[in-house]
Every structure is written in structure tokens, then in C-alpha cells.
């Protein structure tokens, strides 16, 4: 019979964390853990500080940042220059940046394990984006879904919206990212980053790593209260740090299809907060009782969100410390980005020896 290894023998163990998801932990920093940390894959991702994060952002992206921080060399940033394409208000921008940093920390990102920084503090992102611009054709970028959607809504879009995927390619390629956790809506942007890396490598020689998106099948598109993709800009979102009253109001406002016995969109949301078996039981016990099903979801959502909200309060009290964390993160990110940019400048022939 196979012998069950103890935690000590294995060198690691799985544990359910604050978010009720399994994470890999290394209790004793023995040889095994050191080997693991040497082989850690580089992970890069960011979120725009364009408003309060919602449960779509959390399950689609932010939760992966937390769960993967033990076994990846993670660079997580606040995409403020991307937000500038739509958010052009000084006080709102500064406030959102600090709030976003607090949100990251409150979800469980550990600044000892993750390099946490503000995109705009590393000028290499925009510098590399310019170099990529010179390798990218207009017709290629015109095929991007996000550009086409924005243009359909407003013909007078700014150049930043058009060039958005190239700045994003720079964010990722500058750090030799291997893994990029995002929601489904960002898939094409990661493909553009890969194409850009290939274009540069073919023109100037092997320089950039081709990144892979990490999109989890069951949470790739979380739906909002109206049944469409949840988004800050559609006004259909449930904030990740919502108060109990907001949760009650928003869940009760979820639009359901009265023709079926199971409100599929309510059930899909419920599956984010409870395991499948328990959700199935609730749905068979309360079949057709939409109000009760929503009440059950409210209860589970509150049980999940309340501890996150509590955790957030701790960081809100010390904004000075949060700013320090961002500064430290920027210093580390800057060193890595600087090295890469030197290589890039050498390759394109602008660095004279």
C-alpha cells in the first residue's frame, strides 16, 4: 500500500485560505521550498483604478493573484495610465489609486511575496510602448475588440484607447512574464502582447518571452445584475467590498427569467460562494422560489464578503504604510524594467558603446 507522506516529508501542504480556496503552503523552508522558489514562474497582471472593484474582477482575476502568490514571482500593479484613457479627474484618480492598493492588500496580497506598484511610476512602460508602436501597424490594432466597441459608441475616441493594447504589451513583456491571470475579456490583449513579442524577436533577435493568459473556465465571465458581463462601466456590478445593505439591494435587483424554474444567473453567482453540491441542494429544495433563492445567495455572499471588508478596515487606517508599500514595489519593479530596457535599446541600436 502507498504510504501517506507527512507534511514534513512532502515539504508542502494544501490549505483552505480566507477565501475558501485551496492554496499551496511551504511550512519549513527546507531544500524543497528553496528549489521551488528558484523555479518560480514570473506572473504579471494589473487592474485599472477606475472605480470600486467588483466580484467579477475578484473571481476573474484578483483571487488568482492571491492564490498564486506563494508559487509565482508576482508583479501586480495599478494600471493608472490605462485608466487615464477614460478617467480624467485629478482627485478621483489619486483617490482611486490608493483605494486600489488597499483593495489588493485587503484581498490577501502579501507585499513580502508580491511586488506591488503603480504603473505610472515606471516610465519604461510607456517608453517600451513607443518602441512597440513603431513595429505595430494601424490595421492590426484596428481589429481589436475593445477599440471596435469604443469606436462604435463614440467616434471621437482618444489615441490612448486605440493604443491601449500596446501599453499593455509593454506592461507584460518588460518583466518577461510567463503567466498573466485575467478574465476572458482580456484574452485578445494577451494575444496582441504575444504577437508583439514575436514581431520584436523576429526583427531584432530573441528578446521577449511569449506570455500565456491564465483564464479560469468557471469564472471567465461573471455576469452582473442585468445578466450581461459584470463591469464597472455598465452599472450592473456588485462591489467586492459592498455593505450588507448594498448586497441585499443588488441581489434583489438581479433580473431573472420568469419562464424557467431555475434562475440560472442567480445560481451561477451562488456557485462562486458555495460548493456545487450545496448549491444544487438549495436549488432543489427551493425550486421556483426565486425570492428565497436570492435570500440564500445574500446570506452566502455576506458571509464571504464581511471578512474581506473587515480586513480592508485595517489597511484603510494606515494609508501612509500603503504608500510605502507601493514605493518599495516600484523600486524593485524599476530595477528589473531598467535591465530589460537596456537590452531592448542595445537590440534596436540606440545604445552607443
How near is the Cβ of 139 to ligand ADP at its closest, in Å? 25
Identify whether the C-beta of residue 246 lies closer than 8 Å to the C-beta of residue 253: no
Smaller CB separation from ligand ADP, 106 or 219: 219
Query: Which of ligand TRP, ligand ADP, none interacts with 266 (beta carbon under 5 to 8 A by kind)?
Result: none
Query: Which of ligand ADP, ligand TRP, none interacts with 232 (beta carbon under 5 to 8 A by kind)?
Result: ligand ADP
Smaller CB separation from ligand ADP, 219 or 337: 219
Q: Pick the closest to residue 69 from 115, 18, 28, 13 (CA basis).
A: 115
Phi, psi of 253 (to 5 degrees): -85, 0
Query: Which of ligand ADP, ligand TRP, none interacts with 230 (beta carbon under 5 to 8 A by kind)?
Result: ligand ADP
Identify whether the C-beta of residue 323 lies closer than 8 Å to the C-beta of residue 98: yes
6 Cβ neighbours under 8 A, 6+ residues apart: none
Residue 286 touches ligand ADP, criterion: CB under 6 A: no
Nearest-CB residue for ligand TRP: 79
Grid cell digits, residue 28: 519549513
Length of the chain in residues, anyone? Answer: 353
CA distance linking residue 353 with residue 348, whole number of Å: 13
CA distance linking residue 315 with residue 332, whole number of Å: 22
Q: Pick the closest to residue 230 from 260, 191, 281, 268 (CA basis).
A: 268
Query: Which of ligand ADP, ligand TRP, none interacts with 50 (beta carbon under 5 to 8 A by kind)?
Result: ligand ADP
Smaller CB separation from ligand TRP, 55 or 247: 55
Count of Cβ atoms closer than 10 Å to residue 67 Cβ: 18
Smaller CB separation from ligand TRP, 182 or 293: 182
How near is the Cβ of 249 to ligand TRP at its closest, in Å? 26
CA distance linking residue 208 with residue 173, whole number of Å: 6
Grid cell digits, residue 329: 514595489
∠ CA 175-177-62 to the nearest 5 degrees?
105
**Segment lying near ligand ADP (by CB under 6 A), choices 19-27, 119-127, 217-225, 332-340:** 217-225
CA distance linking residue 77 with residue 116, whole number of Å: 6
Residue 260 touches ligand ADP, criterion: CB under 6 A: no
Grid cell digits, residue 305: 464578503
Residues in contact with ligand TRP by the rule CB under 6 A:
44-48, 79, 82, 168, 171-172, 180, 182, 186, 189
**Segment lying near ligand ADP (by CB under 6 A), choices 88-96, 219-227, 261-269, 336-344:** 219-227
How near is the Cβ of 145 to ligand TRP at its closest, in Å? 12
Residue 92 touches ligand ADP, criterion: CB under 6 A: no
Whether the CA torsion 193, 199, 201, 203 is positive or negative: it is negative
Query: Which of ligand TRP, ligand ADP, none interacts with 229 (beta carbon under 5 to 8 A by kind)?
Result: ligand ADP
Compose the 19-58 pattern: x for residues touching ligand ADP by CB under 6 A, - for all others.
----------------------------xx-x-----xx-
Query: Which of ligand ADP, ligand TRP, none interacts with 106 (beta carbon under 5 to 8 A by kind)?
Result: none
Smaller CB separation from ligand ADP, 26 or 107: 107
Grid cell digits, residue 207: 528578446
Q: Pick the closest to residue 173 from 109, 127, 233 (CA basis).
A: 127
**Segment lying near ligand ADP (by CB under 6 A), choices 14-22, 31-39, 158-166, 228-236:** 228-236
CA distance linking residue 134 with residue 340, whole number of Å: 18
**Which residues of this chain interact with ligand ADP, rule CB under 6 A?**
47-48, 50, 56-57, 60-61, 182-183, 185-186, 219, 221-222, 229-233
Amino acid at each position: 500500500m502507498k504510504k501517506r507522506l507527512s507534511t514534513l516529508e512532502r515539504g508542502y501542504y494544501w490549505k483552505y485560505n480566507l477565501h475558501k480556496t485551496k492554496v499551496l503552503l511551504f511550512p519549513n523552508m527546507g531544500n524543497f521550498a528553496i528549489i521551488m522558489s528558484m523555479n518560480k514562474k514570473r506572473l504579471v497582471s494589473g487592474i485599472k483604478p477606475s472605480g470600486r472593484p467588483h466580484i467579477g474582477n475578484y473571481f476573474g482575476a484578483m483571487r488568482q493573484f492571491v492564490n498564486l502568490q506563494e508559487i509565482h514571482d508576482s508583479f501586480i500593479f495599478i494600471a493608472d495610465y490605462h485608466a487615464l484613457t477614460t478617467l480624467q479627474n485629478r482627485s478621483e484618480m489619486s483617490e482611486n489609486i490608493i483605494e486600489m492598493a488597499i483593495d489588493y492588500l485587503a484581498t490577501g496580497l502579501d507585499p513580502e511575496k508580491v511586488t506591488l506598484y503603480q504603473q505610472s511610476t515606471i516610465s519604461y512602460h510607456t517608453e517600451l510602448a513607443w518602441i512597440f508602436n513603431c513595429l505595430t501597424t494601424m490595421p492590426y490594432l484596428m481589429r481589436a475588440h475593445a477599440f471596435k466597441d469604443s469606436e462604435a459608441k463614440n467616434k471621437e475616441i482618444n489615441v490612448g484607447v486605440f493604443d491601449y493594447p500596446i501599453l499593455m504589451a509593454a506592461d507584460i513583456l518588460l518583466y518577461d512574464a510567463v503567466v498573466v491571470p485575467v478574465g476572458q475579456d482580456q484574452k485578445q490583449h494577451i494575444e496582441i502582447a504575444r504577437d508583439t513579442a514575436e514581431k520584436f524577436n523576429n526583427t531584432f533577435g530573441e528578446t521577449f518571452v511569449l506570455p500565456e493568459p491564465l483564464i479560469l473556465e468557471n469564472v471567465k465571465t461573471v455576469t452582473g445584475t442585468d445578466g450581461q458581463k459584470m463591469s464597472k462601466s455598465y452599472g450592473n456590478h456588485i462591489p467586492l467590498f459592498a455593505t450588507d445593505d448594498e448586497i441585499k439591494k443588488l441581489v434583489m435587483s438581479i433580473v431573472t427569467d420568469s419562464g424557467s424554474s431555475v434562475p440560472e444567473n442567480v445560481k451561477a453567482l451562488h456557485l462562486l460562494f458555495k460548493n456545487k453540491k450545496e448549491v444544487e441542494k438549495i436549488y432543489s429544495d427551493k425550486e421556483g422560489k426565486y425570492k428565497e433563492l436570492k435570500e440564500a445567495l445574500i446570506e452566502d455572499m455576506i458571509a464571504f464578503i464581511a471578512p474581506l471588508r473587515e480586513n480592508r478596515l485595517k489597511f484603510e487606517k494606515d494609508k501612509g504604510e500603503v504608500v510605502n508599500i507601493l514605493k518599495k514595489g516600484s523600486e524593485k519593479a524599476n530595477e528589473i524594467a531598467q535591465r530589460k530596457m537596456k537590452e531592448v535599446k542595445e537590440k534596436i541600436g540606440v545604445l552607443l558603446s
